[in-house]
Amino acid sequence: MRIISLSLTLPIISRLTILLIAALCCTALLAQEHFNPLGAQPSRFTAELQAQLRESLPFDDRRDFEESTRGFIAEPDSRQILAASGRVVWDMTRYDFLLNGEQYDSIHPSLQRQATLNMNFGLYEVVPDFIYQVRGFDLANMTLVMGDTGWILFDVLLTGETASAALALANEQLGERPVRAVVYSHSHVDHFGGVRGVISEEEVLAGDVQVIGPIGFMEEAISENVYAGNAMSRRASLQYGRGVPSNPFGQVDSAIGKGLAAGTTGLIAPSLVIADDFEEHVIDGVTMVFQNTPGTEAPAEMNAWFPEQKVFWAAENITATIHNIYTLRGALIRDALAWSKQINEALYRYGMEAQVMVSSHNWPRWGNDRIQQVMRTQRDAYANLNNQVLNLANSGVTINEIHNEYKVPQSLQQQWSVRQYHGSEFHNSRAVLNRYLGYWDGNPVTLAPLSPSDSAPLYVEMMGGPENILERSQSLHDTGEYRLAMEILNKLLYAEPSNVAAKNLLAAVFEQLGYQYESASMRNVFLASAQELRNGAPPVGAPRGTSPSMARAMTTSQWWDAVATRVDSAAADGTNYTINFITPDTGQTFVVEMSSGTLSNIEGYLTADADATITMNRSDLDFVIMGQETLASQLQAGAGNVTGNQAVLLQLASVLVEFSPGFEVMPGTLQP
């Protein structure tokens, strides 16, 4: 049966692996031409603030510098990693300005320190003849454990190109060893995406290689960024400065590493799932105990303990920074209290005797006193955030005030291991309050407010018009009152999105604020937004296809759920129908129902009242999920069939919207 004009396709995984991953990427390898190289110089107010910080922070504590370079073995001949085509997927040379010893007033001194520490590049010995790390090849580290007969790899980076290069360097320096196991510490793609650069699926199916992951890994690896993938990708381009080049006035770091590589990603499902809170396994002769830590840095994550060597693997639960409770790209809010409790559990179960602590980012720690100090400060930082935000909330402080009221205790501010490089007290405090009380502050005015573009004209009118606002904003800018200037310029820009003077002045304000923030995430948001105000948002390429392994990881029900997010409810309302969907090669059945302008699906059922029935092997649906084909093209090619009233398929296609990956975030930033 011939199907016409049916463009029911959803390249949603490509947004996960390309726009989201590349947007998560803060390296912006191809974005140099969009940057104004002159930029704004730091104002005297910014310079004075940086000078004060250099005096008030404990820069004489050099332990991190000693630990970050300890055990260095070698680096490769080139500091660039290339794809097979010759395209650069990773380039450490872009950050060389951080190695010249200059102090930049355009970078928060603490952030510059972290950015310099993250310049590690090469192979490092952590525990002689047992644990090694390759650092600086991607955002994450690859950790290599020597088993009896081969390597056990903990976290295999984002891309196959960087993972392959990391393993090649280790084999070159330490002797060729086969990979016997891969451990995914958690469900974020920078920790599993490079798996196909070090092993093959055939090796796993043959039982030659184990792939180990925490319970819930496959569900979370796919679902976290799929349903809001387009919006998340656009926001991530701001958080990670995707369009901002690396120089003293631009993107300098990502807190837990320099950035994410721009290569190809893949996924191989775990062959061993760690389901219990604590599980002991012997992998290639190495005894390890896994600690599941759900609801911490990722919904599915686990630590590991090597009892014979007294080594604690902290995954991404303990790094060299305070992490995000709320990540600015957008994700479910994390649980600061649960995070603190999981660190405390690890501290008392393993930390009291650990001699080495290794993480999937930054650098290891050695010596029990040092390990306990870092674990306690991280535990205390997350617990204090949770408890003091609730203390303030119970005293009447609202979500619109909390970021100005919550203060990190002075004792923690003097600890480098809990500085605010990735998360910040600003967005993390709002996240905690939102987790418990939601976004409403209790004031009826904010319960159903006008949209900014609707309310802004009244503000501009009451303030005496744009000239008054520009004049006052300029005086605020000139006296270093950047947040006040931002407040009123934002109103003007929503009222007059094409006001060039307002855009340029707000961009200048954003630059100074970006220079002042310690959080790499906040710095990148402000600098990227300044660039967009001046030059327009950089063009975002169309989503590209992805590997079959990533498509196979998405369940059919998840795909239908993602399709449902594309339904224009107003257009679909009033047209109700039911579709049976059958995938014979997996033995699965689904009922897909359009009702009340809403698309839903349920697995394990068929209905005799279906308006149409689609039968298609899941292996053929994979090409639709990847965006390489549509349901129409697959059915027309004979990859499946449809019976019943095929007009309902046309009805479904007619109400699906295509998301633009480059939508406007601030008014007046779209390219003309």
Instruction: Return the structure tokens found at 94.
Output: 């872009």
Confidence of residue 671 (pLDDT cuts 50, 70, 90): low
DSSP state of 333: P
Q: What is the pLDDT of residues 30-68, one digit of tens each?
A: 333 334 444 689 999 999 999 999 999 999 999 999 999
Confidence of residue 225 (pLDDT cuts 50, 70, 90): low
Quick one: pLDDT at residue 235? 83
Query: Cα-flanking dihedrals φ and ψ of residue 265, to 5°?
Result: -115, 160
Per DSSP, the residues of 631-654 read HHHHHHTTSSEEEE-THHHHHHHH
Quick one: pLDDT at residue 540? 61
Quick one: pLDDT at residue 538? 75
Quick one: pLDDT at residue 452? 94
174 vs 259 pLDDT, higher one: 174
Quick one: pLDDT at residue 536? 86
Count how many Cα atoms sit within 13 Å of the Cα of residue 40 in the half-sphere of its side chain: 23
* Average pLDDT of span 88-115: 96
Quick one: pLDDT at residue 2? 31
In which residue are the tokens 């721009």 written?
A: 262
Report the range of poorest mean pLDDT among 177-181, 323-327, 544-548, 657-661.
544-548
Q: Is the separation of the CB atoms in 384 and 408 below 8 Å?
A: yes
In which residue are the tokens 């790094």 written?
A: 319
Instruction: Return the structure tokens found at 246.
Output: 């690396």
Quick one: pLDDT at residue 358? 98
Instruction: Return the structure tokens found at 65.
Output: 């510098």
Quick one: pLDDT at residue 37? 46
Closest residue by Cα to residue 620 from 634, 636, 604: 634
What is this structure's pTM? Answer: 0.89
Confidence of residue 24 (pLDDT cuts 50, 70, 90): very low
Topology of domain 567-654, CATH = Nonspecific Lipid-transfer Protein; Chain A (3.30.1050)
C-alpha 233/C-alpha 476 separation (Å) is: 33
371 vs 539 pLDDT, higher one: 371
Count how many Cα atoms sit within 13 Å of the Cα of residue 235 in the half-sphere of its side chain: 13
2 vs 627 pLDDT, higher one: 627
**Distance in angstroms between the alpha carbons of the first and the last residue of the chain:** 45
Q: What is the mean pLDDT of the chain?
A: 90
Tell me, what amino acid is at 276? D
Three-state SS at 578: strand
Quick one: pLDDT at residue 78? 95
Quick one: pLDDT at residue 590? 98
* Average pLDDT of span 104-114: 98
Q: Is the separation of the CB atoms in 383 and 375 below 8 Å?
A: no
C-alpha pair distances (Å), 501 with each of 459, 470, 486:
18, 8, 13
Q: Is the separation of the CB atoms in 151 and 179 below 8 Å?
A: yes
* Average pLDDT of span 376-400: 96
* Average pLDDT of span 231-239: 81
How many other CB atoms sit within 10 Å of the CB of residue 457? Answer: 14
* Average pLDDT of span 16-22: 38
Quick one: pLDDT at residue 38? 46
C-alpha pair distances (Å), 171 with each of 53, 180, 415, 466, 624:
43, 14, 37, 64, 39
226 vs 7 pLDDT, higher one: 226
Report the range of poorest mean pLDDT among 6-15, 168-177, 313-322, 432-441.
6-15
Q: What is the pLDDT of residues 121-149, one digit of tens each?
A: 999 999 999 999 999 999 999 999 999 99
Three-state SS at 287: strand
In which residue are the tokens 């606002």 written?
A: 469
Closest residue by Cα to residue 221 from 160, 266, 264: 266
Query: Cα-flanking dihedrals φ and ψ of residue 614, to 5°?
Result: -110, 130
C-alpha 314/C-alpha 311 separation (Å) is: 10
Q: Is the separation of the CB atoms in 406 and 386 below 8 Å?
A: no
Task: Please say if the pLDDT value at position 92 is more than 50.
Answer: yes
Domain ranges (residues) in the chain = 567-654
What is the share, in percent, of the chain residues with pLDDT greater than 70?
Answer: 92
* Average pLDDT of span 83-94: 95
Quick one: pLDDT at residue 162? 98
Task: Please say if the pLDDT value at position 541 is more than 60.
Answer: no
Task: Please say if the pLDDT value at position 22 is more than 70.
Answer: no
Confidence of residue 221 (pLDDT cuts 50, 70, 90): confident
Q: What is the pLDDT of residues 462-489, one digit of tens each?
A: 999 999 999 999 999 999 999 999 999 9
Quick one: pLDDT at residue 654? 94
* Average pLDDT of span 157-177: 97
In which residue are the tokens 């952590």 written?
A: 126
Q: In sequence order, what are the residues at sequence separation of 6 or more whose Cβ sits closer than 8 angstroms to the Cβ of residue 178?
A: 149, 150, 151
Quick one: pLDDT at residue 503? 95
Quick one: pLDDT at residue 21? 38
